[in-house]
Amino acid sequence: MYKIYDCLTNQHDLVLVLIAIAIGLGGIHTAFNLYARACIGRWQQKIAWLFLTGVVTGGGIWATHFIAMLAYDPIVPVGYEPGLTAVSLIIAIATTMIGFAIASVAGPHLVLSRVTGGLVVGLGISAMHFTGMSAMRVPGIISWHMDIVIASIIMGAVFAMLSLWFAEAARTPRQKLYGKASLTVAVATMHFSAMGGFVVTPDPTVPVPAQLISQHYLAIGVAIVATLLIAIGFVTALVDRQMRAHVSNRMRILGDSAIEALVLTQNGRVVDSNESFLRLTGSKPHEILEQDFLARWLPDTPPAFQTGNLNYVETSLRLDDQKELPVEVIRREIPADDISDDTIIYGLRDLRERYAAEKHIRFLAEHDSLTQLLNRTTFNDRLGEALAESDETGIPTTVMCVDFDHFKELNDSFGHIAGDHALRELGERLSKLVTDEVTIARVGGDEFVVLLHHQGRTKATEINAHSQEVAQQILDCIALPIFINQENRAKLSASIGVAHYPVDGADAESILFHADLAMYRVKQSGGNDVVFYSSEMDEEYRFKRQMASNLRIALENRQLELYYQPQCHADDEEIQSFEALLRWNDPELGQVSPGRFIPIAEETGLIIPLGEWVLRTACMEAARWKKPLGIGVNLSAVQLQKHELPDIVASVLAESGLDPKRLELEVTETALIHNPARSMKILSDIKKLGVRIAMDDFGTGYSSLATLQNFPVDRIKIDQSFVNKLVGNVQAGAIVRAVINLSRDLALDVIAEGVETDEQANFLTDHDCRAVQGYKYGYPRPIADYWHIVHPEEPVPGTTEPVVAEANRHSGIETV
């Protein structure tokens, strides 16, 4: 080590040493730029670039060696044999070209090829050095310290191997820097270490050939060779770099303009990417270069995609924090050209938005948009799966039908916006009850269904108890007040029908139907309760269906008829008008009470044509009466919600020719409050026709005074439930007196219905009730039985005897 140091400091001109190192750095700098270019492109271009790399590298190292030799002072005159000097240059160029060529070979053994290439370069440096030294001629004896020589060869080889290992493909500035520094160290350590083992013993007797290159001319030649080689290499690399930079810049602008992420790879390694990919992965450009693209970011791609047999795949992009993004990837291959190797372009598109949109679409397809609960279609699918599972496990499945009580009144009172708000809030509450065992869906309007699994429960008592528990939770959830506005809170209840599979039904349709039947049984009982299905409900339903079918046939075949009940003056019992009452005598069912078939007509919608038939028939009949008595016709709640009702009334009046003042339409308080605004408009339009309006069953509702104030009522009918209790019931008497006084104060007529006894009649007369109706004054009968009333002094059809004028009194009615 001391010999090397002594040789460097005492036997070398340090200025020339620095110049030698500078020239070596220049050559090596240019050489690695050429090597980087030689690592890409087709083999024809690679060979050319490798040759130029070898020329520049070998020439630079050769120039460094001989300039360093000029800096060496052996004390004796020095000359150089031309042939060996030229051979040393050829050795430097050839070995470095071969070494760089080996290192540039891509394949599965990259490290081995680079290390081997570095070894060739290192040994080539030593071969050039010692060949150049053998060309040296001095008047003396040259000898070597072989231990130092061997060490110098080893150091040159090691640093050369490290150089090409660090440099890899010399794509990045860092790789080039490491390669240049290591190769410079290899050249310097090898040369100056070897010179430390070089010994010259002067001997004038040693002959020196005449044809030698003097150091002066050698310096000029070396300077010219080094300058030319480095300049040629530098200019060539610069021109090529600018050309490739121009192409690369155009491609980068194009790539960065794409929304999709683009990645370019060569031999599986990333060589470039656009800004979209960097943003997608949160990376910087230098962090992705030379990374194995598929292994690093797309490890889950199928083998067919990795080998190129498949060009499109949807997979996950793995990020640094182990998070994964869904992406679609397309693979395209670009064959090698004069500028680059075989290149594979990967285009990636972030699928998060698409997956989110698809998820949202699926959610909309499967859920109700208002309540966010499942919709009917999805529920039916879940129900089918649950029934199949029940068949396999033997554990029953329960279905509940839930319908809110009086929800229509909430809509009518506060509007549909408030109704939607209530449904949203109830949907949110019910969603909190959803578990693995409980599935809830909205199937329309205010109708909901519940699918209940009974995990681990097999006994009927356990299943019923579990169903009752869940149903009660639903009732409690719905019973909480709902905020409508600052002044109002709505409180709802629900009717719940329950049916078990397979006990109460053999398939999805029947189990839903039976749960619905049970729910309607709750409705009929006042709501806010839970009822389990039983077989008699099915029998009742079939009976109703039969009745509805028969009623439709009766309407079409004119099997219905009207009975008329007289309405009399309380003092003299003179008949003032008749109330038309519908009767139906079915061939199969016999005489059917209106209390049975009217609700069915309202449920099925038959009440609309049925009501119009009653109105038309009664008006036609009354218009034929010789005595112009009044005629009263009842309107159902369903009819009162039809906008076309005033037009129908006008049409019937025009068709029959009946004086509108003779017609009185009777409505109930309950019918009015279904939709107060609509009812007000319809009744006002009817009132404009000259028709009278009577409020039937007054006092049985819950808004009587408000109804009298807001609606165009002409007469009040005191409900028979109060009249029946007049005798012996102080409260009933007080209510009747209050209604009579109220009607008088409001300038309204009043009539009491359901009068059957003299005591009831006397009470009403004593308290100034001027009109009465009931069995005491006449039963509902066909109009022929009252012929002597409506056609006084005319013979009854089919007879020739006239009826006396007094026959319109109560006593005459009783004798008919």
Give the lowest-confidence range in 230-234, 658-662, 673-677.
Answer: 230-234
- pLDDT exceeds cutoff 50 at 270: yes
Residue predicted with more confidence, 418 or 665: 665
* Percent of the chain whose predicted confidence (pLDDT) is above 90: 27
- Residues paired with residue 694 on neighbouring β-strands, in sequence order: 666, 715
- pLDDT exceeds cutoff 50 at 175: yes
| Total residue count of the chain as it appears in this document | 816
**Assigned CATH topology for domain 258-356:** Beta-Lactamase (3.30.450)
Q: What are 451's two structure tokens? A: 């699918």
Burial of 87: CB neighbours in 10 Å, binned 0-12, 13-18, 19+: middle
Q: Is 751 helix (H, G, I), strand (E, B) or coil?
A: strand
Rounded to an integer, what distance in angstroms lies between the CA atom of residue 151 and that of residue 173?
A: 31
**Assigned CATH topology for domain 545-815:** TIM Barrel (3.20.20)
Q: Is 491 helix (H, G, I), strand (E, B) or coil?
A: coil
Q: For the chain, how many helices (H) and strands (E)?
A: 30, 26
- In the prediction, which pLDDT does 2 show? 44
Burial of 225: CB neighbours in 10 Å, binned 0-12, 13-18, 19+: middle
* Percent of the chain whose predicted confidence (pLDDT) is above 70: 82
Burial of 263: CB neighbours in 10 Å, binned 0-12, 13-18, 19+: buried
- In the prediction, which pLDDT does 73 show? 59
- pLDDT exceeds cutoff 50 at 112: yes
Number of Cβ atoms within 10 Å of the Cβ of 313: 17
- pLDDT exceeds cutoff 70 at 235: no
Q: What are 482's two structure tokens? A: 């709902």
- DSSP 3-state percent helix, strand, coil across the chain (nearest 5): 55, 20, 25
Q: What are 416's two structure tokens? A: 């549909």
Kindly report, residue by residue over 396-410, the tens digit of the pLDDT. 999 999 999 888 778
Kindly report, residue by residue over 520-529, the tens digit of the pLDDT. 888 888 889 9
Q: How far is CA 379 from CA 469, 516, 719, in A?
A: 21, 15, 47
How many Cα neighbours within 13 Å face the side chain of 182? 24
Q: Is 697 helix (H, G, I), strand (E, B) or coil?
A: strand
Location of structure tokens 């209530």: 422
**What is the band of 705 on the pLDDT scale with cuts at 50, 70, 90?**
low
Q: What are 319's two structure tokens? A: 């990020």
Give the lowest-confidence range in 6-20, 56-70, 479-493, 618-632.
Answer: 6-20
- Residues paired with residue 623 on neighbouring β-strands, in sequence order: none
Question: Are 672 and 640 spatial neighbours (Cβ–Cβ below 8 Å)?
Answer: yes
How many Cα neighbours within 13 Å face the side chain of 306? 15
Sign of CA pseudo-dihedral 26, 30, 36, 38: negative
Q: For the residues 559-577, what does the mean pLDDT come to? A: 93
Rounded to an integer, what distance in angstroms lies between the CA atom of residue 180 and that of residue 24?
A: 10
Rounded to an integer, what distance in angstroms lies between the CA atom of residue 373 and that of residue 99?
A: 72
Number of Cβ atoms within 10 Å of the Cβ of 254: 11
Q: What are 269's two structure tokens? A: 């390694």
Question: Are 638 and 669 spatial neighbours (Cβ–Cβ below 8 Å)?
Answer: no
Phi-psi region of 625 (alpha: psi -120 to 50; beta: other; left: phi over 0): beta
- Residues paired with residue 750 on neighbouring β-strands, in sequence order: 716
Q: Phi and psi dihedrals of 788, rounded to 5?
A: -70, -15
Give the DSSP per-residue string, 539-591.
HHHHHHHHHHHHHHHHHHTT-EEEEEEEEEETTT--EEEEEEEEEEEETTTEE
Active site residues: 753
The CATH architecture assigned to 386-533 reads: 2-Layer Sandwich (3.30)
Q: What is the mean pLDDT of the chain?
A: 82
Is the bond preceding residue 502 a cis peptide, omega within 30 degrees? yes
Write b or e for each residue in 747-784: b if 16 or more Cβ atoms lie within 10 A of its Cβ, otherwise e.
ebbbbbbbbeeeebbebbeebebbbbbbebbbebbebe
**What is the band of 84 on the pLDDT scale with cuts at 50, 70, 90?**
confident
- In the prediction, which pLDDT does 629 show? 95
Kindly report, residue by residue over 434-466, the tens digit of the pLDDT. 998 999 999 988 899 999 998 878 788 888 999
Closest CA to 793 of 782, 801, 781, 785: 801
Give the DSSP per-residue string, 267-297.
TTEEEEE-HHHHHHHT--HHHHTT-BHHHHH
Q: At 663, which helix (H) or strand (E)? A: strand 663-668
Q: For the residues 246-274, what does the mean pLDDT come to? A: 71
Rounded to an integer, what distance in angstroms lies between the CA atom of residue 256 and that of residue 714?
A: 82
Rounded to an integer, what distance in angstroms lies between the CA atom of residue 51 and that of residue 49?
A: 5
Q: How far is CA 456 from CA 351, 393, 396, 453, in A?
A: 42, 10, 11, 9
Q: For the residues 408-432, what does the mean pLDDT come to? A: 84
Q: In what order do the strands lie in the sheet with 529-532?
A: 438-444, 447-453, 397-405, 493-501, 529-532
Q: For the residues 47-59, what does the mean pLDDT come to? A: 78
- pLDDT exceeds cutoff 70 at 174: yes
Kindly report, residue by residue over 186-230, the tens digit of the pLDDT. 887 887 777 776 776 676 766 656 555 555 566 666 666 666 666
Quick one: CA torsion of 457, 460, 465, 470, rounded to 10 degrees?
70
3-class SS string, 326-365: EEEEEEEEECCCCCCCCEEEEEEEECHHHHHHHHHHHHHH
* Domain extent listing, the chain: 2-205+220-240, 258-356, 386-533, 545-815
Rounded to an integer, what distance in angstroms lies between the CA atom of residue 60 and that of residue 437?
A: 82
- In the prediction, which pLDDT does 814 show? 31
Q: Is 139 helix (H, G, I), strand (E, B) or coil?
A: coil
- pLDDT exceeds cutoff 60 at 246: no
Residue type, 664: E
Indicate whether this model's pTM tops 0.75: no
- pLDDT exceeds cutoff 70 at 92: yes
Burial of 378: CB neighbours in 10 Å, binned 0-12, 13-18, 19+: middle
CA 334 to chain centre: 39
Sign of CA pseudo-dihedral 282, 284, 285, 287: negative
- In the prediction, which pLDDT does 649 show? 95
Rounded to an integer, what distance in angstroms lies between the CA atom of residue 431 and that of residue 433?
A: 5
- In the prediction, which pLDDT does 810 show? 37
DSSP H helices in 135-214: 146-167, 173-196
- In the prediction, which pLDDT does 706 show? 62
